[in-house]
Structure 1
Protein backbone atom coordinates (compact mmCIF):
# COMPACT_ATOMS: atom_id res chain seq x y z
CA UNK A 1 0.00 0.00 0.00
CA UNK A 2 1.37 3.40 -0.95
CA UNK A 3 0.58 6.53 1.01
CA UNK A 4 1.27 10.04 -0.24
CA UNK A 5 2.32 12.75 2.20
CA UNK A 6 2.55 16.43 1.34
CA UNK A 7 4.37 19.25 3.14
CA UNK A 8 5.59 16.92 5.87
CA UNK A 9 2.08 16.61 7.38
CA UNK A 10 1.11 12.94 7.44
CA UNK A 11 -2.60 12.58 6.71
CA UNK A 12 -2.96 9.18 8.36
CA UNK A 13 -6.69 8.90 7.74
CA UNK A 14 -6.50 9.82 4.03
CA UNK A 15 -5.29 7.68 1.16
CA UNK A 16 -4.56 10.67 -1.07
CA UNK A 17 -2.72 13.96 -0.76
CA UNK A 18 -3.73 16.72 1.60
CA UNK A 19 -6.10 19.38 0.19
CA UNK A 20 -3.41 21.97 0.89
CA UNK A 21 -1.17 20.51 -1.79
CA UNK A 22 -0.92 22.10 -5.19
CA UNK A 23 0.10 20.37 -8.36
CA UNK A 24 3.62 21.82 -8.36
CA UNK A 25 4.47 21.37 -4.71
CA UNK A 26 7.08 18.72 -3.85
CA UNK A 27 5.64 15.54 -2.41
CA UNK A 28 7.20 12.71 -0.48
CA UNK A 29 6.22 9.27 -1.66
CA UNK A 30 6.50 6.56 0.99
CA UNK A 31 6.41 3.00 -0.19
CA UNK A 32 7.14 -0.12 1.79
CA UNK A 33 10.93 0.38 1.85
CA UNK A 34 11.73 3.47 -0.20
CA UNK A 35 11.46 7.18 0.41
CA UNK A 36 12.03 9.56 -2.46
CA UNK A 37 11.31 13.20 -3.16
CA UNK A 38 9.30 13.87 -6.27
CA UNK A 39 9.69 17.45 -7.41
CA UNK A 40 9.89 19.01 -10.83
CA UNK A 41 12.40 21.83 -10.64
CA UNK A 42 12.90 23.79 -13.82
CA UNK A 43 16.43 24.43 -15.11
CA UNK A 44 18.11 21.39 -13.63
CA UNK A 45 18.13 19.12 -16.65
CA UNK A 46 20.74 16.50 -17.41
CA UNK A 47 22.11 18.43 -20.39
CA UNK A 48 24.10 20.92 -18.30
CA UNK A 49 27.89 21.00 -18.36
CA UNK A 50 29.62 20.88 -14.99
CA UNK A 51 32.20 23.43 -13.98
CA UNK A 52 35.01 20.90 -13.86
CA UNK A 53 34.23 19.76 -17.42
CA UNK A 54 34.13 23.38 -18.55
CA UNK A 55 37.51 24.15 -16.95
CA UNK A 56 38.97 20.97 -18.38
CA UNK A 57 37.86 21.91 -21.91
CA UNK A 58 39.28 25.43 -21.49
CA UNK A 59 42.57 23.95 -20.28
CA UNK A 60 42.70 21.62 -23.27
CA UNK A 61 42.05 24.53 -25.61
CA UNK A 62 44.82 26.64 -24.05
CA UNK A 63 47.28 23.76 -24.09
CA UNK A 64 48.10 24.10 -20.38
CA UNK A 65 48.97 21.14 -18.18
CA UNK A 66 47.69 20.09 -14.77
CA UNK A 67 51.22 20.47 -13.40
CA UNK A 68 50.56 24.03 -12.19
CA UNK A 69 47.41 22.94 -10.36
CA UNK A 70 48.96 20.21 -8.23
CA UNK A 71 50.60 20.74 -4.85
CA UNK A 72 53.67 18.61 -4.06
CA UNK A 73 53.11 16.05 -1.29
CA UNK A 74 55.75 17.60 1.01
CA UNK A 75 54.08 21.02 0.89
CA UNK A 76 50.63 19.49 1.32
CA UNK A 77 51.71 17.67 4.49
CA UNK A 78 53.25 20.86 5.89
CA UNK A 79 50.03 22.75 5.15
CA UNK A 80 47.93 20.13 6.91
CA UNK A 81 50.11 20.24 10.04
CA UNK A 82 49.96 24.04 10.17
CA UNK A 83 46.21 24.14 9.51
CA UNK A 84 45.57 21.58 12.25
CA UNK A 85 47.69 23.61 14.67
CA UNK A 86 46.24 27.05 13.83
CA UNK A 87 42.65 25.75 13.78
CA UNK A 88 42.92 23.26 16.64
CA UNK A 89 44.70 25.48 19.16
CA UNK A 90 42.11 28.27 19.35
CA UNK A 91 39.28 25.77 19.21
CA UNK A 92 40.77 23.69 22.02
CA UNK A 93 41.41 26.74 24.18
CA UNK A 94 37.87 28.01 23.59
CA UNK A 95 36.29 24.68 24.47
CA UNK A 96 38.50 24.36 27.55
CA UNK A 97 37.43 27.82 28.71
CA UNK A 98 33.78 26.80 28.31
CA UNK A 99 34.45 23.83 30.59
CA UNK A 100 36.21 26.09 33.12
CA UNK A 101 33.25 28.50 33.13
CA UNK A 102 30.87 25.58 33.59
CA UNK A 103 32.82 24.23 36.58
CA UNK A 104 33.04 27.69 38.16
CA UNK A 105 29.30 28.15 37.88
CA UNK A 106 28.50 24.57 38.92
CA UNK A 107 30.60 24.82 42.11
CA UNK A 108 29.20 28.29 42.80
CA UNK A 109 32.64 29.91 42.82
CA UNK A 110 31.66 32.59 40.31
CA UNK A 111 28.32 33.27 38.68
CA UNK A 112 29.59 33.56 35.13
CA UNK A 113 27.54 36.02 33.05
CA UNK A 114 25.88 34.43 30.01
CA UNK A 115 27.63 36.69 27.51
CA UNK A 116 31.11 35.51 28.53
CA UNK A 117 30.85 31.88 27.29
CA UNK A 118 29.13 33.17 24.15
CA UNK A 119 32.01 35.58 23.56
CA UNK A 120 34.59 32.83 24.15
CA UNK A 121 32.87 30.47 21.72
CA UNK A 122 32.62 33.22 19.09
CA UNK A 123 36.29 34.08 19.48
CA UNK A 124 37.28 30.41 19.30
CA UNK A 125 35.34 29.77 16.09
CA UNK A 126 36.43 33.08 14.53
CA UNK A 127 40.08 32.55 15.32
CA UNK A 128 39.88 29.02 13.96
CA UNK A 129 38.48 30.35 10.70
CA UNK A 130 41.35 32.79 10.41
CA UNK A 131 43.71 29.96 11.36
CA UNK A 132 42.58 27.98 8.34
CA UNK A 133 43.71 30.70 5.94
CA UNK A 134 46.85 31.51 7.92
CA UNK A 135 47.85 27.84 8.07
CA UNK A 136 47.85 27.73 4.28
CA UNK A 137 49.62 31.06 3.78
CA UNK A 138 52.26 30.49 6.47
CA UNK A 139 53.53 27.30 4.83
CA UNK A 140 56.65 27.52 2.73
CA UNK A 141 55.59 26.80 -0.84
CA UNK A 142 59.14 25.79 -1.75
CA UNK A 143 59.63 22.01 -1.29
CA UNK A 144 63.29 22.42 -0.21
CA UNK A 145 62.66 25.08 2.47
CA UNK A 146 60.95 24.05 5.69
CA UNK A 147 60.01 27.57 6.86
CA UNK A 148 59.94 29.30 10.22
CA UNK A 149 58.07 28.16 13.32
CA UNK A 150 55.09 30.52 13.11
CA UNK A 151 55.47 31.23 9.39
CA UNK A 152 55.16 35.02 9.45
CA UNK A 153 57.91 35.45 6.84
CA UNK A 154 56.32 32.85 4.56
CA UNK A 155 52.90 34.47 4.92
CA UNK A 156 54.36 37.82 3.84
CA UNK A 157 55.92 36.15 0.79
CA UNK A 158 52.89 34.04 -0.15
CA UNK A 159 50.25 36.78 0.15
CA UNK A 160 51.39 38.73 -2.95
CA UNK A 161 51.92 35.44 -4.80
CA UNK A 162 48.32 34.53 -4.10
CA UNK A 163 47.00 37.73 -5.69
CA UNK A 164 49.50 37.78 -8.56
CA UNK A 165 47.21 35.90 -10.95
CA UNK A 166 44.29 38.19 -10.11
CA UNK A 167 46.34 41.26 -10.97
CA UNK A 168 47.48 39.70 -14.25
CA UNK A 169 43.89 38.93 -15.25
CA UNK A 170 42.83 42.56 -14.71
CA UNK A 171 45.46 43.88 -17.12
Structure 2
Protein backbone atom coordinates (compact mmCIF):
# COMPACT_ATOMS: atom_id res chain seq x y z
CA UNK A 1 0.00 0.00 0.00
CA UNK A 2 1.39 3.37 -1.00
CA UNK A 3 1.10 6.57 0.93
CA UNK A 4 -1.14 8.98 -0.97
CA UNK A 5 -0.30 12.63 -1.49
CA UNK A 6 -1.98 15.50 -3.32
CA UNK A 7 0.42 17.38 -5.61
CA UNK A 8 -0.36 20.53 -7.57
CA UNK A 9 0.40 20.68 -11.30
CA UNK A 10 1.71 23.87 -12.93
CA UNK A 11 -1.79 24.48 -14.35
CA UNK A 12 -3.21 24.49 -10.79
CA UNK A 13 -4.95 21.12 -10.98
CA UNK A 14 -4.61 18.94 -7.90
CA UNK A 15 -3.51 15.35 -8.50
CA UNK A 16 -3.81 12.55 -5.99
CA UNK A 17 -0.65 10.46 -6.28
CA UNK A 18 0.83 7.31 -4.84
CA UNK A 19 4.20 8.07 -3.26
CA UNK A 20 7.15 5.71 -3.39
CA UNK A 21 6.35 3.76 -6.56
CA UNK A 22 9.35 1.84 -7.82
CA UNK A 23 10.10 2.09 -11.55
CA UNK A 24 9.70 -1.71 -11.95
CA UNK A 25 6.08 -1.32 -10.73
CA UNK A 26 5.12 1.01 -13.59
CA UNK A 27 3.12 -0.20 -16.57
CA UNK A 28 1.91 1.25 -19.86
CA UNK A 29 -0.67 4.04 -19.45
CA UNK A 30 0.43 4.83 -15.86
CA UNK A 31 0.79 8.57 -15.33
CA UNK A 32 3.92 9.77 -13.53
CA UNK A 33 3.88 13.20 -11.87
CA UNK A 34 6.17 15.68 -13.63
CA UNK A 35 6.21 19.43 -12.97
CA UNK A 36 7.79 19.95 -16.43
CA UNK A 37 4.35 19.62 -18.04
CA UNK A 38 1.42 22.03 -17.50
CA UNK A 39 -0.93 19.13 -16.76
CA UNK A 40 1.58 17.79 -14.21
CA UNK A 41 2.28 14.32 -15.53
CA UNK A 42 3.65 12.18 -18.32
CA UNK A 43 1.96 9.02 -19.52
CA UNK A 44 4.09 5.89 -19.67
CA UNK A 45 3.99 4.39 -23.16
CA UNK A 46 5.91 1.19 -22.43
CA UNK A 47 8.08 -0.41 -19.79
CA UNK A 48 10.89 -2.62 -21.03
CA UNK A 49 12.23 -5.62 -19.10
CA UNK A 50 14.20 -4.88 -15.95
CA UNK A 51 17.97 -4.97 -16.40
CA UNK A 52 20.24 -6.03 -13.55
CA UNK A 53 23.74 -4.56 -13.42
CA UNK A 54 26.69 -4.99 -11.10
CA UNK A 55 27.92 -1.78 -9.50
CA UNK A 56 31.28 -0.65 -10.85
CA UNK A 57 31.98 1.04 -7.53
CA UNK A 58 30.89 -1.80 -5.25
CA UNK A 59 31.74 -5.17 -6.81
CA UNK A 60 29.28 -7.86 -5.80
CA UNK A 61 26.46 -5.30 -5.38
CA UNK A 62 23.73 -5.26 -7.99
CA UNK A 63 21.08 -2.73 -8.96
CA UNK A 64 18.10 -2.61 -11.30
CA UNK A 65 17.57 -0.35 -14.27
CA UNK A 66 14.07 -0.05 -15.69
CA UNK A 67 13.81 1.46 -19.20
CA UNK A 68 10.57 3.47 -19.38
CA UNK A 69 9.35 4.99 -22.66
CA UNK A 70 7.42 8.28 -22.43
CA UNK A 71 7.46 11.91 -23.54
CA UNK A 72 9.69 12.92 -20.61
CA UNK A 73 10.36 16.45 -21.80
CA UNK A 74 7.88 18.82 -23.48
CA UNK A 75 10.46 19.85 -26.06
CA UNK A 76 11.56 16.34 -27.14
CA UNK A 77 10.15 13.28 -28.84
CA UNK A 78 9.36 10.19 -26.80
CA UNK A 79 12.47 8.69 -25.28
CA UNK A 80 13.52 5.90 -22.95
CA UNK A 81 14.46 7.00 -19.46
CA UNK A 82 16.56 4.41 -17.65
CA UNK A 83 15.20 4.63 -14.11
CA UNK A 84 16.96 3.34 -11.02
CA UNK A 85 17.67 4.16 -7.36
CA UNK A 86 14.62 6.36 -6.86
CA UNK A 87 10.85 6.26 -6.64
CA UNK A 88 8.18 8.25 -8.46
CA UNK A 89 4.70 9.61 -7.80
CA UNK A 90 2.08 7.68 -9.77
CA UNK A 91 -0.99 9.81 -10.52
CA UNK A 92 -4.21 8.12 -9.38
CA UNK A 93 -6.76 10.78 -10.22
CA UNK A 94 -7.40 14.46 -10.64
CA UNK A 95 -8.86 15.84 -7.43
CA UNK A 96 -11.95 17.91 -8.20
CA UNK A 97 -12.15 21.47 -6.94
CA UNK A 98 -13.87 21.60 -3.56
CA UNK A 99 -17.55 22.54 -3.35
CA UNK A 100 -19.54 24.40 -0.71
CA UNK A 101 -22.40 22.59 1.01
CA UNK A 102 -24.84 24.36 3.34
CA UNK A 103 -26.71 22.76 6.23
CA UNK A 104 -29.17 23.68 8.97
CA UNK A 105 -27.11 22.06 11.74
CA UNK A 106 -23.66 20.60 12.41
CA UNK A 107 -25.37 17.26 13.08
CA UNK A 108 -26.89 17.33 9.57
CA UNK A 109 -23.52 18.38 8.09
CA UNK A 110 -21.68 15.58 9.91
CA UNK A 111 -24.18 12.92 8.84
CA UNK A 112 -24.25 14.11 5.22
CA UNK A 113 -20.45 14.11 4.98
CA UNK A 114 -20.47 10.46 6.04
CA UNK A 115 -23.16 9.10 3.72
CA UNK A 116 -23.39 11.37 0.67
CA UNK A 117 -21.40 10.18 -2.32
CA UNK A 118 -21.45 13.74 -3.67
CA UNK A 119 -19.61 15.29 -0.72
CA UNK A 120 -15.87 14.72 -1.10
CA UNK A 121 -13.03 15.05 1.40
CA UNK A 122 -11.94 18.69 1.35
CA UNK A 123 -15.37 20.12 0.51
CA UNK A 124 -16.58 23.03 2.65
CA UNK A 125 -19.41 22.57 5.15
CA UNK A 126 -21.29 25.78 6.03
CA UNK A 127 -23.70 25.89 8.96
CA UNK A 128 -24.53 29.59 9.06
CA UNK A 129 -27.16 29.25 11.81
CA UNK A 130 -24.47 27.91 14.20
CA UNK A 131 -21.65 30.15 12.84
CA UNK A 132 -19.66 27.03 11.92
CA UNK A 133 -17.62 26.40 8.79
CA UNK A 134 -15.81 23.11 8.42
CA UNK A 135 -14.11 20.71 6.06
CA UNK A 136 -15.57 17.36 4.97
CA UNK A 137 -13.43 14.37 5.94
CA UNK A 138 -13.82 10.95 7.48
CA UNK A 139 -13.76 13.02 10.68
CA UNK A 140 -15.22 16.35 9.47
CA UNK A 141 -13.60 19.25 11.31
CA UNK A 142 -14.49 22.86 12.04
CA UNK A 143 -12.35 25.88 11.17
CA UNK A 144 -14.30 28.11 13.55
CA UNK A 145 -14.16 28.61 17.33
CA UNK A 146 -17.51 26.81 17.60
CA UNK A 147 -17.72 23.33 16.16
CA UNK A 148 -21.01 21.81 17.28
CA UNK A 149 -21.11 18.15 16.21
CA UNK A 150 -18.02 18.46 14.00
CA UNK A 151 -14.54 17.62 15.24
CA UNK A 152 -11.92 20.23 16.00
CA UNK A 153 -8.21 20.27 15.26
CA UNK A 154 -5.49 20.81 17.81
CA UNK A 155 -4.24 24.40 17.91
CA UNK A 156 -0.88 23.44 16.38
CA UNK A 157 -2.42 21.63 13.35
CA UNK A 158 -2.55 23.68 10.15
CA UNK A 159 -5.45 22.34 8.06
CA UNK A 160 -3.68 23.58 4.89
CA UNK A 161 -0.88 21.08 5.36
CA UNK A 162 -2.93 18.30 7.00
CA UNK A 163 -3.04 15.18 4.85
CA UNK A 164 -0.08 16.39 2.75
CA UNK A 165 -2.01 19.43 1.57
CA UNK A 166 -5.17 17.54 0.66
CA UNK A 167 -7.35 20.20 2.31
CA UNK A 168 -5.52 23.39 1.24
CA UNK A 169 -7.94 24.26 -1.58
CA UNK A 170 -10.92 23.60 0.69
CA UNK A 171 -9.48 25.85 3.41
CA UNK A 172 -8.96 28.64 0.86
CA UNK A 173 -12.58 28.26 -0.29
CA UNK A 174 -13.75 28.21 3.35
CA UNK A 175 -11.92 31.48 3.95
CA UNK A 176 -13.76 33.11 1.04
CA UNK A 177 -17.11 31.77 2.31
CA UNK A 178 -16.36 32.95 5.85
CA UNK A 179 -15.54 36.45 4.60
CA UNK A 180 -18.74 36.55 2.54
CA UNK A 181 -20.85 35.44 5.52
CA UNK A 182 -18.99 37.43 8.18
CA UNK A 183 -17.98 34.30 10.12
CA UNK A 184 -14.57 34.40 11.78
CA UNK A 185 -12.28 31.40 11.17
CA UNK A 186 -9.95 30.72 14.08
CA UNK A 187 -8.50 27.33 13.17
CA UNK A 188 -6.87 27.88 9.80
CA UNK A 189 -3.22 28.02 10.83
CA UNK A 190 -1.08 30.61 9.14
CA UNK A 191 -1.12 31.39 5.45
CA UNK A 192 2.00 30.26 3.65
CA UNK A 193 3.66 33.06 1.73
Same fold (TM over 0.5): no
TM-score by length of 1: 0.22
Structure in which a larger fraction of residues adopt helix: 1
* More strand per residue: 2
